[in-house]
């Protein structure tokens, strides 16, 4: 025990080349994670745009625009 040198088993030795190719499952998982990150980025950008300008997506018409001959605010009396 005193003079023994311990080597790490996770580090490959010099004559062995590590297999750097990914399996099909790893490639599929990697592509799926990338697509999810892109989707998350799009949602984050969309949420920040709504937070910065919330009235941009609202329609400009109101409920009283379609009333003929009535002033806005007199809808209760028309019934």
Q: Where are the alpha helices (DSSP H) in 2-59?
A: 24-52
pLDDT tens readout for residues 6-25: 555 555 555 655 567 889 99
Q: For 20-45, what is each residue's pLDDT tens digit?
A: 788 999 999 999 999 999 999 999 99
Q: d(Cα 17, Cα 11) in Å, to the nearest integer? A: 11
> How far apart are alpha carbons 10 and 29 in whole angstroms?
24
**Model confidence, pTM:** 0.47
Task: Give the helix/strand (H/E) hosting 76.
Answer: helix 75-78
**How far is residue 12's CA from residue 20's CA, in Å, rounded to a whole number?**
13
Q: How confident is the model at residue 56, as a pLDDT?
A: 77
């Amino acid at each position: 025990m005193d003079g023994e040198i311990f080597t790490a088993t996770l580090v490959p030795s010099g004559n062995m080349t590590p297999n750097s190719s990914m399996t099909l499952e790893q490639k599929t998982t990697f592509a799926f994670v990338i697509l999810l990150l892109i989707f998350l980025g799009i949602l984050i950008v969309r949420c920040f745009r709504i937070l910065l300008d919330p009235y941009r997506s609202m329609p400009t018409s109101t409920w009283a625009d379609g009333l003929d001959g009535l002033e806005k605010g007199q809808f209760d009396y028309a019934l």
